[in-house]
């Protein structure tokens, strides 16, 4: 039975939408230090929707620019290429992640709010802890739960089993593994692989509930793990499974996190979420 479900999930992963062609080209350019601004502009010239989305996000209070940005060239200068890379991905996934997610009982917009919250909380935490080399943390946070979009309908079909007493004290990704043969973190990682995103980002998504099982320690993955709990605890995108996940003590120890860090970031996260989501309306 489990293997049948697993092959159905595999099928859904293969059928999951690819990155739009223009976005894939842009992401490639933006990761190559030899690309020119003109090349990026050339692609975006034929993509008015994507361009408008990027500019709207650029002008979000979250990024703190004082003057209104009206062109991609300006956005690249003021925000930098790494931010632009993040905004291209965010623009591509916002519409699909805005939909309701059955199984996890997330109404329309909640997966997106949760994802934005984890992105912002992860960036805030990385800054608070003065970590370096975490440029891709925004995108890793944004995409950490993308697997729920596929797994949701399978979770829904098995709700009766999932609510079974045996599973009440088991971290939810393990419940998924036990019943479905995989979990939403693994399915999400498979989607990121399909999108050819960077390996460390894929690992951060794959191990966000089990950082202790990751083949190598990643600060980015560790921070996303903690930011996910912050977002759930403050009720942003908390679904049917509630807080039924287990935080890793090894992660908080190696990041040197105190409860003060967590509460401080929690107190700021809602404002970040409203700044960022407003730019998509």
Partner 1 sequence: MNQVITVGDMKIGGKGDILVTHALGSCLGLMVYDPAAQVGGLLHAMLPLSKINLQKAAQNPYMFVDTGVPEMFRQLYEIGGQKSRMVIKAAGCGQPLGNSEMFQIGERNYTVLKKLLWKNNIMLEAEDVGGVISRTVYFDLSTGQVIISSKGVKKEL
Chain residues binding partner 1 by CB under 8 A are 105, 163, 169, 171, 226, 229, 232-236, 238-247, 249, 252, 257-260, 262-264, 266-268, 270
Say if CB 129 and CB 273 are below 8 A apart: no
Task: Specify the 3-state DSSP secondary structure of 190.
Answer: helix
**Among residues 199 and 263, whose Cβ is nearest to partner 1?**
263
- Of residues 190 and 208, the one with the C-beta less far from partner 1: 208
Least distance from C-beta 52 to partner 1, angstroms? Answer: 29
Shortest CB 49 distance to partner 1, Å? 31
In the complex with partner 1, which residue's Cβ is closer, 86 or 115?
A: 115
CA distance 187 to 180: 11
For 263, other C-beta atoms within 10 Å of its C-beta total 11
In angstroms, what is the minimal distance from the CB of 236 to partner 1?
8
What is the crossing angle of helices 48-58 and 72-79, to 10°? 40
**H runs (alpha helix) in the chain:** 2-15, 21-31, 37-45, 48-58, 72-79, 81-97, 110-128, 137-143, 148-157, 159-162, 172-180, 184-194, 199-206, 219-233, 249-255, 259-278
Minimum Å gap between C-beta 247 and partner 1 is 5
Please identify, using beta-carbon distances, which residue of 195 and 229 lies nearer to partner 1.
229
- Measured from the CB atom, the residue of 136 and 145 that comes closer to partner 1 is 145
Q: What six digits make up the tokens of 62?
A: 């979250």
Question: In whole angstroms, how close is the CB of 246 to partner 1 at the nearest point?
Answer: 4
């Amino acid at each position: 039975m489990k293997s049948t479900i697993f092959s159905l999930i595999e099928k859904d992963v293969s059928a999951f939408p690819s990155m739009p062609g223009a976005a894939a080209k842009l992401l490639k350019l933006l990761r190559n230090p030899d690309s020119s601004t003109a090349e990026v502009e050339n692609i975006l010239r034929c993509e008015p929707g994507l361009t408008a989305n990027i500019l709207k996000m650029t002008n979000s209070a979250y990024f703190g620019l004082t003057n209104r940005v009206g062109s991609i060239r300006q956005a690249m200068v003021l925000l930098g290429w790494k931010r632009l890379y993040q905004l291209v991905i965010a623009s591509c996934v916002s519409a699909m992640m805005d939909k309701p997610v059955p199984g996890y009982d997330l109404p329309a917009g909640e997966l997106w709010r949760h994802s934005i919250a984890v992105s912002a909380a992860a960036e805030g935490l990385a800054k608070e802890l003065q970590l370096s080399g975490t440029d891709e943390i925004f995108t890793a946070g944004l995409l950490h739960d993308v697997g729920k979009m596929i797994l949701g309908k399978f979770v829904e079909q098995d709700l009766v089993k999932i609510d079974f007493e045996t599973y009440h004290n088991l971290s939810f990704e393990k419940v998924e593994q036990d019943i479905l043969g995989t979990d939403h973190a693994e399915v999400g990682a498979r989607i990121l692989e399909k999108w050819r995103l960077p390996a460390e980002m894929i690992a951060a998504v794959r191990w966000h509930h089990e950082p202790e099982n990751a083949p190598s320690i990643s600060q980015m993955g560790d921070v996303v793990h903690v930011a996910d709990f912050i977002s759930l605890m403050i009720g942003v995108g908390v679904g049917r499974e509630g807080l039924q996940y287990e935080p890793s003590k090894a992660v908080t120890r190696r990041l040197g996190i105190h409860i003060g860090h967590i509460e401080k970031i929690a107190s700021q996260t809602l404002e970040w979420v409203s700044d960022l989501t407003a730019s998509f309306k």
